[in-house]
Amino acid sequence: MFVPVLLGAGVVLSGVAWLVERAARIAAGRQMERGLAVRLGSLAPPETLIAREPDPFALFAPSTRDGS
């Protein structure tokens, strides 16, 4: 009798925890992701260390010259 009661209580508590997690996720929304992105921005390497490669799609961009 003791084991089924513990199993039932575990199932009920897991369900309650799932509902609380879902409610927290909905309440936090994108604000949580935005704050994480801001905090992780300090871990980015300095701009001088990042190699800038040419845009591979620049060849396909329309020309801005006025010559037809």
Segment 14-68, tens digit of pLDDT = 999 999 999 988 888 777 777 888 888 888 777 777 777 777 787 787 766 655 5
* Amino acid (1-letter code) at residue 51: A
pTM for this entry: 0.44
pLDDT at 66: 58
Locate 67 and state its tokens: 């010559």
